[in-house]
Amino acid sequence: MQNRMNRVCLICLCGLAFLAGMAWTAENPPEILIANFEDSTYGDWKAEGTAFGPGPARGTLPNQMEVSGFEGKGLVNSFFEGDATTGTLTSPPFEIQRDYISFLIGGGMHPGETCINLIVDGGVVRTATGPNDKPGGTERLDWYSWDVSDLREKTAVIQVVDAHTGGWGHINIDHILQANHSVGTQETSRELAIVEDYLSFQFGAEQGGRSQVSLRLNNEVVRYTAGQNRQEPYWITWDVSQLKGKTAALSIIEVTLGGHRIADTVHHDGEVRGVLYVTDKLYQETYRPQFHFTPKKNWTNDPNGLVYYDGEYHLFFQHNPEGIDWGNMTWGHAVSPDLMHWTQLENAILPDEHGTIFSGSAVIDTRNTSGFQAGPHPPLVCIFTYAGDFGTPKRPFTQGIAYSTDRGRTFTKYQGNPVVENLGPGNRDPKVFWHAPTNKWVMVLYVGTRSDFVILGSPDLKNWERLSTITFPDGHECPELFELPVDGDPANTRWVLWEGGGRHMLGKFDGVTFSPETGVLPSEWGRNCYAGQTYNNVPGGRRIFIAWMNGGSYPGMPFNQQMAFPRVFTLRSTPDGPRLYAYPIAEIETIREARGHWADETLEPGANPLKDLQGELWDIDAVIRPQDGSRTVLNVRGTPIVYDAAKAALSCLDKEAPLPLEDAPLALRVLVDRTSIEIFANGGRLVMSFCFLPDLLDKTLSLTCEQGSAHIDRLDIWEVRSTWPETP
């Protein structure tokens, strides 16, 4: 690896020396500097959002790893105030006068989200990302070149984009220039007529980093693969049978070191070479989660209206029916008999003149308090936010209702909408439930300013009065209020007040006022769990929770984002008082097959009882006793989950959580789908939820001790079956 890095650096240095010593002629005209970001402001460049700060950075920003490899004193660095900020930085128009545009680039590798784009005639014709998509990595900038010889004399703009808020959610750019030669990484682009079923190419062992191959149709990425270095070259094959008869743009981005070139290995024929990357078989696409809900296509985020009714679990969800990114918020709709196998129905609630349809909840009006019942079925009533910013004309946010009298197959909006007028800027996300002791409906609502929730009451879901205000420190969006027994004792209960990030307080609720008994408590120690909601009306009294696994990446897929696996909430006694636990629902046992069982074994350094297991979908249940100072590592498809006994901490990807065992064993339950890892430690007291994008060729599992040893009390491994139909 060191030799390879030296070769990459040598290429960059030689390129710079070549630039410095070149004699400029008519055949070799001088380079044209587009921007070097040495001034204190961006000048004619237009910055939008907050990610790029007030001007070019002077190197490393607060809480950032050391940034290196840039020229001079300044650079574009969208880590301003951390990875959570977003924005764009756009150049003034310029004429393309040379064969190559080169620049220094670093930061995150999130296509379309942390990238630099070349835009001609309103469309993206070239793009590049940083090299990092996993924890670790480096903030070093390296040279990158676009071949733009086919775009000479066209007018273009360059746009730097930061739309990613998770790990490596930033981009670094410096020293953009035009020249008649390339430097470092090179992009090869060409049109390709799709006439055969498969398109194959080979990643080589001599590449100087992750290379990227993409296929665009009408300026939309329809296939994408990023390849990692390996000791031996390996093939990737795309199924392009559904694109036959069309002409697409093939783009290959690689570090050329004088040896293997991906561009020289492209085959378009009827042969499958290496790993087959599927994108056109519904629910069988390469990055489609196999036992987590995703819509057939396009964007989804918050789960909405979770309710059980007449043998079906309803899952409504924030949905953009018109595109792969957020927008046009509509309530999508799916139903399931078991929370495992989902059938997507027609979209339930669509935008109107009051605005688009933001998050909310659903209830079964068994007493027909609303008067909506028109047949044998009690009405299913949805309560949602009208996002008035998107109304015609614009107006404040309000709350509306819609009802169904045919078991949720069609919905009618109440003619008296909105039922709750605006209570604050952006007030939203009503969660409604029936409170039997006071014989009324109760709504908890985010007022639109952090730290303020309100409680409202209604006899009929149509007429609401404000009952009380709740102060929730830094509480934000998607509130909820529900009751749970402590240790299963119905005579000893607490109410859980919840907010979008899963932070919560425990206390009492009398139908009017919530009285907290704890401070704000965490429920999630990972990075990809947000805007969760629990089901109303579940038989048996289980409190079942589903969340949006925000921030996932699904390159080349027809859908965007996924839901978390359903969990059961319980309250249990601890030395600190009652605390919330979360654990996968038992229904998963119906979709798994045993692959291995171990008990009463010592795990010594170098041993790996899972070395013979290969796969994508897992349910892992382990009870392990780490020895003092040991590091026990469960590695899932190249992603380590580490328990460090010396630190008494559990870590995965870029998150670490305290987990003292206090002479008890480490109980670890791990669910692995194609793009997600969910960790439940010590019975669900600690939960870590992650989206990840594993190497397609890495399907390994391992359990090892990096130092010291551990004792396996019990270890069970199940392979999980897909819940999607084979022939939709």
Residue-wise pLDDT for 363-407, tens only, equals 999 999 999 999 888 999 999 999 998 888 899 999 999 999 999
Q: Which of 135, 153, 183 is the last residue of a domain?
A: 183
Question: Do 177 and 208 reside in the same domain of the chain?
Answer: no
One-letter amino acid at 625 equals R
3-state secondary structure 51-91: CCCCCCECCCCCCCCCEECCCCCCEEECCCCCCCCCEEEEC
Question: Do 461 and 515 reside in the same domain of the chain?
Answer: yes
> How many CA atoms does the CB half-sphere of 490 hold within 13 Å?
3
Domain span holding position 611 = 587-720
pLDDT at residue number 16? 33
CATH of the domain at 270: 2.60.40
CATH of the domain at 139: 2.60.120
Question: Do 464 and 578 reside in the same domain of the chain?
Answer: yes
Locate the DSSP E strands across 170-324. 171-179, 185-193, 198-203, 211-217, 220-227, 234-239, 247-255, 267-269, 275-277, 298-309, 312-320
> Is residue 728, in this structure, part of any structural domain at all?
no
Give the C-alpha separation, 167 to 134, whole Å.
8
Higher pLDDT: 546 or 180? It is 546
Question: Do 172 and 211 reside in the same domain of the chain?
Answer: no
pLDDT at residue number 183? 67
**Residue 19 binned pLDDT confidence (cut-offs 50, 70, 90):** very low
pLDDT at 20 over 50: no
Residue-wise pLDDT for 67-86, tens only, equals 988 888 999 999 999 999 99
Q: Which two tokens stand for residue 648?
A: 């008494």
Q: How far apart are the first and last CA of the chain?
A: 45
pLDDT at residue number 11? 30
> Is residue 83, in this structure, part of any structural domain at all?
yes
Percentage of the chain exceeding pLDDT 90: 73
> Is residue 193, in this structure, part of any structural domain at all?
yes
**Mean per-residue pLDDT of the chain:** 90
User: Nearest to residue 124, comparing CAs of 103, 143, 148, 142?
Assistant: 148
> Is residue 101, in this structure, part of any structural domain at all?
yes
| Alpha-carbon distances, residue 152 vs 94, 96, 120, 304 (angstroms) | 11, 5, 11, 50
Question: Do 576 and 598 reside in the same domain of the chain?
Answer: no
Q: Which two tokens stand for residue 321?
A: 């029916």
Instruction: Work out the average pLDDT over 88-117.
Output: 94
> Is residue 292, in this structure, part of any structural domain at all?
no
**Residue 450 binned pLDDT confidence (cut-offs 50, 70, 90):** confident
Residue-wise pLDDT for 460-477, tens only, equals 999 999 999 999 999 999
> Is residue 290, in this structure, part of any structural domain at all?
no
Instruction: Work out the average pLDDT over 612-629.
Output: 94
Cα angle vertex 494, ends 491, 495, to 5°?
135
According to DSSP H, which parts of 299-417 are helical?
none
Question: Do 503 and 639 reside in the same domain of the chain?
Answer: no
Residue-wise pLDDT for 312-357, tens only, equals 999 999 999 988 889 999 999 999 999 999 999 999 999 999 999 9
Strand partners, 156: 94, 120
| Alpha-carbon distances, residue 270 vs 197, 277, 618, 653 (angstroms) | 5, 14, 33, 39
Residue-wise pLDDT for 235-262, tens only, equals 889 989 889 999 999 998 876 544 567 8
Helix (H) / strand (E) containing 14: helix 2-21
Question: Do 367 and 433 reside in the same domain of the chain?
Answer: yes
Question: Do 195 and 318 reside in the same domain of the chain?
Answer: no
DSSP 393: S
Cα angle vertex 131, ends 654, 32, to 5°?
140
> Is residue 293, in this structure, part of any structural domain at all?
no
Question: Do 196 and 157 reside in the same domain of the chain?
Answer: no
How would you label 432-457 residue by residue, b for 16+ Cβ within 10 Å and e otherwise? bbbbeeeebbbbbbbbbeeebbbbbb
Helix (H) / strand (E) containing 4: helix 2-21
Q: Which of 584, 609, 629 is the last residue of a domain?
A: 584
pLDDT at 154 over 80: yes
| Alpha-carbon distances, residue 345 vs 102, 348, 349, 726 (angstroms) | 48, 8, 12, 18
Give the C-alpha separation, 286 to 278, whole Å.
5
CATH of the domain at 333: 2.115.10.20
Question: Residue 393 burial by CB count (10 A; 0-12/13-18/19+): exposed, middle or buried?
Answer: exposed
Question: Do 175 and 229 reside in the same domain of the chain?
Answer: no
pLDDT at 87 over 60: yes
Residue 429 sits at φ, ψ, to 5 deg, of 70, 60
Which long-range contacts does 318-327 make (Cβ < 8 Å, 24+ apart)?
Answer: 318/358, 318/359, 318/548, 319/295, 319/347, 321/347, 322/298, 323/298, 323/299, 324/297, 324/298, 324/299, 324/558, 324/559, 324/560, 325/299, 325/560, 326/299, 326/301, 327/299
> Is residue 291, in this structure, part of any structural domain at all?
no
pLDDT at residue number 712? 96
Question: Do 603 and 578 reside in the same domain of the chain?
Answer: no
**Residue 26 binned pLDDT confidence (cut-offs 50, 70, 90):** low
433 contacts 455 by C-beta, under 8 angstroms: no
Question: Do 122 and 204 reside in the same domain of the chain?
Answer: no
Q: Is 408 left (phi over 0), alpha (psi -120 to 50) or beta?
A: left
Helix (H) / strand (E) containing 546: strand 543-549
One-letter amino acid at 654 equals D
Q: Is 302 a catalytic residue?
A: yes
Give the C-alpha separation, 168 to 107, whole Å.
6
Higher pLDDT: 187 or 694? It is 694
Catalytic residue among 302, 365, 429, 673: 302
CATH of the domain at 627: 2.60.120.560
Give the C-alpha separation, 443 to 594, whole Å.
44
Residue-wise pLDDT for 537-594, tens only, equals 999 999 999 999 999 988 878 899 999 999 999 999 999 999 999 999 999 999 999 9
Number of domains in the chain: 4
pLDDT at residue number 521? 98
Q: Which of 183, 204, 222 is the last residue of a domain?
A: 183
The pTM for the full model equals: 0.74
pLDDT at 717 over 60: yes
pLDDT at residue number 230? 63
pLDDT at residue number 175? 92
User: Nearest to residue 689, comparing CAs of 550, 592, 499, 535?
Assistant: 550
